[in-house]
């Protein structure tokens, strides 16, 4: 009896080890689902589809984008977190998912620090400070002077409470000691429309949805929230050049899977992702949309996420932004 039990346990162990080795060594052997926590057509969707198209042939299996929008990315993030850690369900997690939501919600259906395997970076969307065409301030210092002369009189739109555009505004207010009136919208499109029309005066915007308006002169950019000037807007000063040192703000996105993904699977996905991000055609396509490709190792992306969590949790708490 003992001999039979021992043989059964040994066989079970060998079978499990063989299955694990096959899952890692032969990965992938079936299509990979890429969960996008936003609706089709937006920047997040565009990034995912461009990269999935490049990664599929390289990996030898289709990478299929599956949109699961809603609840400030919480629905999609929770789906990823609760999936089997086999590498066949992965997806996008952005600054809201990993850095903002944990500070803005008292309870979440996922743990941003424990429920994900960090695979790599996807892209940064630089934020720029834009104003309505007829707004009198011609630079950041003139804007600050107006705001300080009459606190709360200068309006600043965002794509919604707790969005990257709102949080960037709060960081700007804290760093400059100014009081700008926050005007939240349901999305960046209506906010940009009102900015162009002069219904609101200022707004932090990300480049992908606003680049055509900027180049068409429909809104004016006072500064970019990046360490160096952007090649796509070479004449626009950085915040440091405009007199606000140390101010950087991006909307960013990364690639994650559920916690406890095997190291070999993470490495395989990261290698394919980095190759796609560095492919000249894909890189050029993203950059022309105002997206900066962000290739990183899993460790680098994990460190980046933790630094962003530390920065933005402080900003959010100081601004008392709560979404529940």
Kindly tell me if the per-residue pLDDT of 215 is higher than 70: yes
CA distances from 303 to 89, 90, 296, 309, 319 (A): 23, 19, 10, 10, 25
Which of 9-13, 71-75, 90-94, 150-154 shows the lowest per-residue confidence on average (mean pLDDT)?
9-13
Which tens digits make up the pLDDT trace of 51-62?
999 999 999 999
At 324, the pLDDT band (50, 70, 90 cuts) reads confident
The HSE-up count of residue 161 (CA atoms within 13 Å, CB side) is: 10
Report how far residue 150's alpha carbon sits from residue 180's, in angstroms, rounded to the nearest whole number.
10
At 63, the pLDDT band (50, 70, 90 cuts) reads very high
Q: What is the mean pLDDT of residues 29-35?
A: 98
Report how far residue 171's alpha carbon sits from residue 314's, in angstroms, rounded to the nearest whole number.
10
Report how far residue 39's alpha carbon sits from residue 59's, in angstroms, rounded to the nearest whole number.
26
| Cis, bond preceding 28 (omega within 30 deg of 0) | yes
pLDDT at 4: 45
Helices (H), 198-257: 207-215
Report how far residue 50's alpha carbon sits from residue 39's, in angstroms, rounded to the nearest whole number.
15
Q: Is the dihedral of CA 63, 67, 72, 75 positive or negative?
A: negative
Residue showing tokens 């079970």: 12
pLDDT at 16: 39
State what percent of residues in the chain have pLDDT above 70. Answer: 92
Q: For residues 238, 241, 246 and 247, what is the CA-based torsion angle, rounded to 10 degrees?
A: -40
Which of 20-24, 103-107, 142-146, 304-308 shows the lowest per-residue confidence on average (mean pLDDT)?
20-24
Q: In which element (H, E) is residue 252 found?
A: strand 250-258
Q: Angle at CA 89, nearest 5°, toward 83 and 94?
A: 95
How many other C-beta atoms are found inside a 10 Å radius of the C-beta of residue 123? 28
Which pair of structure tokens corresponds to residue 283? Answer: 């890189």
3-state secondary structure of 41: coil
User: DSSP letter at 119?
Assistant: E
Q: What is the mean pLDDT of residues 303-321?
A: 96
Which tens digits make up the pLDDT trace of 100-156?
999 999 999 999 999 999 999 999 999 999 999 999 999 999 999 999 999 999 999
Kindly tell me if the per-residue pLDDT of 7 is higher than 90: no
Kindly tell me if the per-residue pLDDT of 11 is higher than 80: no
Which tens digits make up the pLDDT trace of 79-111?
999 999 999 999 999 999 999 999 999 999 999
Q: What is the mean pLDDT of residues 283-290?
A: 93
């Amino acid at each position: 009896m003992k001999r039979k039990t021992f043989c059964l346990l040994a066989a079970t162990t060998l079978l499990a080890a063989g299955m694990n080795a096959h899952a890692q060594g032969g990965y992938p052997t079936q299509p990979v689902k890429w969960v996008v926590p936003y609706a089709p057509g937006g920047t997040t969707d565009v990034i995912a589809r461009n990269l999935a198209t490049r990664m599929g042939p390289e990996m030898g299996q289709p990478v299929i984008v599956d949109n699961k929008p809603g609840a400030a990315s919480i629905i999609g993030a929770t789906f990823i977190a609760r999936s089997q850690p086999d590498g066949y369900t992965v997806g996008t997690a952005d600054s809201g998912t990993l850095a903002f939501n944990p500070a803005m919600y008292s309870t979440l259906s996922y743990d941003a620090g424990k429920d994900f395997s960090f695979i790599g970076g996807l892209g940064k969307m630089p934020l720029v400070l834009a104003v309505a065409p007829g707004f009198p301030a011609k630079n950041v210092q003139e804007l600050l002077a107006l705001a300080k002369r009459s606190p709360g009189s200068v309006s600043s739109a965002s794509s919604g409470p707790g969005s990257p555009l709102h949080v960037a505004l709060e960081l700007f207010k804290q760093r400059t000691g100014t009081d700008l009136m926050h005007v939240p919208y349901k999305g960046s499109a209506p906010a940009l429309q009102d900015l162009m029309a002069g219904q609101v005066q200022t707004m932090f915007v990300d480049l992908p949805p606003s680049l055509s308006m900027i180049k068409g002169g429909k809104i004016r950019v006072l500064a970019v929230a990046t360490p160096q000037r952007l090649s796509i807007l070479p004449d626009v000063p950085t915040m440091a050049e405009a007199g606000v040192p140390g101010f950087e703000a991006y909307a960013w996105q990364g690639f994650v899977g559920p916690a406890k993904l095997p190291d070999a699977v993470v490495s395989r996905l990261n290698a394919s992702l980095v190759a796609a991000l560095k492919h000249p055609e894909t890189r050029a396509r993203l950059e022309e949309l105002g997206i900066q490709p962000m290739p990183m190792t899993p460790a680098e992306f994990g460190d980046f996420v933790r630094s962003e969590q530390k920065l933005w949790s402080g900003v959010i708490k100081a601004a008392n932004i709560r979404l529940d």
